[in-house]
Each structure stands twice: as structure tokens, then as C-alpha cells.
Amino acid sequence: MLREVTATRYVAPLRSGGSVPGIVEADDLGTYVVKFTGSAQGRKALVAEIIVGELARRLGLRVPELVLAHFDPELAAHEPHQEVRELLNASPGLNLGMDYLPGARDFTPEVARACTVDPVEAGKVIWLDALTVNVDRTIHSSNLMVWPTFGTAPPRLWLIDHGAALVFHHRWEASAPEKAYDFRHHALGHFTPDTRAAEAELAPRVTDALLREITEEVPDAWLTDEPGFTTPGEVRDAYVAYLSARVKASETWLPTDFPTREELAAEEALRAAKTRQGRPAWLKQVPDLHGEPAAEQDWSVHLG
């Protein structure tokens, strides 16, 4: 079961994402990034964080430890921004915390260009994202971090932010386990991911028993008031049934044909050209800072 901690100090908000999580210190002396129940994404984002994050961990991928964090809004009475205070005031009680990784860097396009990611690990990440229909692991929003290790060991790739996965739970009645997965712009797509090997290794491990264990980690309060369901247990059963059926239908969604770096660069250049054509004449000489790749770094990183 997920550990429970109690926040003892609110440090600062993080504005890099739409949910505006906050850094807090807790009574176990740990520091966590907490996602709040009062955010615009709602509790379903936290449900997805737990189910996908814990599934990734059980499959051997690196995910910061998840905890259930008790939070008192009075801890953040000093917060100067009204919209953040409103979010915190709407989130008393149980929220979701993720272990804070000090010194970690976002896996940005610039960092990715200097990295070598193991094809087997890349395949496993993409297989997990395809299984859980994670729509937010793209080139420009990777939700991956690079965290240094001790000694001479290379930095490791860590998976974060799975609130946008399990998109089917927003429209249960229209969910289809055979639905294809749009992987073309996946953050790891140009590292020659071996998704066939990932499928062979991981699929047999995603059993109904495992899925039931993971869904039991979700607090009942986050599964209530779900249209079409009477009890939290029924909602858990629906998650298990959908993901189990999706594993069996993997031939319909398994990503295998990935674009190369050059193909992606050509797409970006075409997009930038179209953007320029729509500009006023006096702006056409201004560089498109979003479309042109940043300068290459003079360092390299190996991930495995």
C-alpha cells in the first residue's frame, strides 16, 4: 500500500504544469511534489497517476515514490498568489505526493539530442504509454527526467506526471480497448525502441491480479460519484477490465514503425515554414524560435 505522510511545511508552487503542484516537506523528513485534489484536472488525474505510476514501477521502470499526503491549507497561508491559495484551500485532506528528485533535469529536446537511450528501455516506456493511452509523453512535453547517479554511473531516466493517461476514464461508454495509439511524436520514438521485446516481456506480467492490487491503492474517496457506477469497487473493476482487455488487443495498438530524427526534423521545418507564410511581411525575417533546434550541447549523456 502507498505510504501516508503529513505535510509539515509548504515550500513553493511549481508553475511548470497546468495543475500547479507544490513542493512540501513532510513528517517523515521527506520532500515531495504534491498534486492537489482541487486542481483543474480533478481527482481523475490523481487516479491515473497512481494506476500508471504503480504499474510502471511493478514493471521495473523508474518512477519517484508515490505517497498519500495529508495537507492542511493553513500551512500555505503565506502564499502570495490568490489563484494558488484558492487551489490549496480547495485541497484539504488527502492529496498525492511524489518523491522530489533534487538536481534532476527535464528531458527536453536539447537534452535528448545529447542522450543515448537503451532501445529496450525506450520500448518498455512506449509500450506502457500505449497500454495506458498516455497522451502526454511527446517530444516537447516528455514528462521524463534525467537524474544523476552516484560515482561514474550514468544518469537514469525517470518517468513522471501520468495524470493525462487513461483517457478512456473520461468517457467510459465510448472506451474501446482496441483503440490505436498515436505514438509518432513520442519523446523516445527516435531511440529505435524495441517495442516487440517490451511486449514479450511485459504483457504476461500485466495480470488481473496485478491490476487489482494497483487499483486498490487508489483511495475510495477519489472513486466516488463516478457516473454509471455505484461503488468504488465497481470503478476499480472497470479499470481492471479495460486494461486487461487492452493487453490482449495489443496487436491493434502496438507501436512499431517510428519516424527517424531526420523525418521529425523535416516535419518541424515544414511546420515552421507554414508558420512563416502566415506572418506579416515585416515579421518574416524574425527567426521562429520554437521551430528551429537549439544549439547542440558540448556534453553527452548515456541512459540505460
- Domain for residue 123, yes or no? yes
- Domain for residue 276, yes or no? no
| 41 contact partners, CB below 8 Å, separation of at least 6 | 18, 19, 163
Mean pLDDT to the nearest integer, 199-206 = 97
**Radius of gyration of the chain measured on its C-alpha atoms:** 20
Mean pLDDT across the chain: 88
pLDDT at 153: 61
H-run or E-run covering 264: helix 261-277
**Does one domain contain both 244 and 196?**
yes
For the cut 60, the answer to whether the pLDDT of residue 22 exceeds it is yes
Domain boundary among 99, 119, 145: 99
- Band the pLDDT of 293: cuts 50, 70, 90: very low
**Does one domain contain both 65 and 130?**
no
**Does one domain contain both 216 and 126?**
yes
**Does one domain contain both 22 and 111?**
no
Which amino acid, one-letter code, is at 150? Answer: F
Q: Name the one residue in this structure whose C-alpha cell is 511545511.
A: 9
For the cut 50, the answer to whether the pLDDT of residue 222 exceeds it is yes
pLDDT at 99: 98
**Does one domain contain both 177 and 245?**
yes
Give the separation between CA 137 and CA 159, rounded to whole angstroms.
9
pLDDT by residue (tens digit) across 24-75?
999 999 999 999 999 998 999 999 999 999 999 999 999 999 999 999 999 9
Specify the DSSP class assigned to residue 5: E
**Does one domain contain both 190 and 93?**
no
Domain boundary among 78, 99, 120: 99
**Does one domain contain both 29 and 109?**
no
Instruction: Give the number of domains in the chain.
Output: 2
Burial of 295 (0-12, 13-18, 19+ CB in 10 A): exposed
Mean pLDDT to the nearest integer, 244-254 = 96
**Does one domain contain both 111 and 224?**
yes
Burial of 12 (0-12, 13-18, 19+ CB in 10 A): exposed
Angle made by CA atoms 240, 134, 180, in degrees to the nearest 5: 85
H-run or E-run covering 116: strand 115-117
Cell of 2: 502507498
**Does one domain contain both 126 and 247?**
yes
**Does one domain contain both 122 and 140?**
yes
For the cut 50, the answer to whether the pLDDT of residue 258 exceeds it is yes
- Band the pLDDT of 81: cuts 50, 70, 90: very high
Give the separation between CA 55 and CA 177, rounded to whole angstroms.
17
> pTM higher than 0.75 for the full model?
yes
Give the separation between CA 23 and CA 240, rounded to whole angstroms.
32
Residues of the domain holding 15: 3-99
pLDDT at 135: 93
**Does one domain contain both 92 and 146?**
no
Sheet holding 156-159, edge to edge: 105-106, 144-147, 156-159
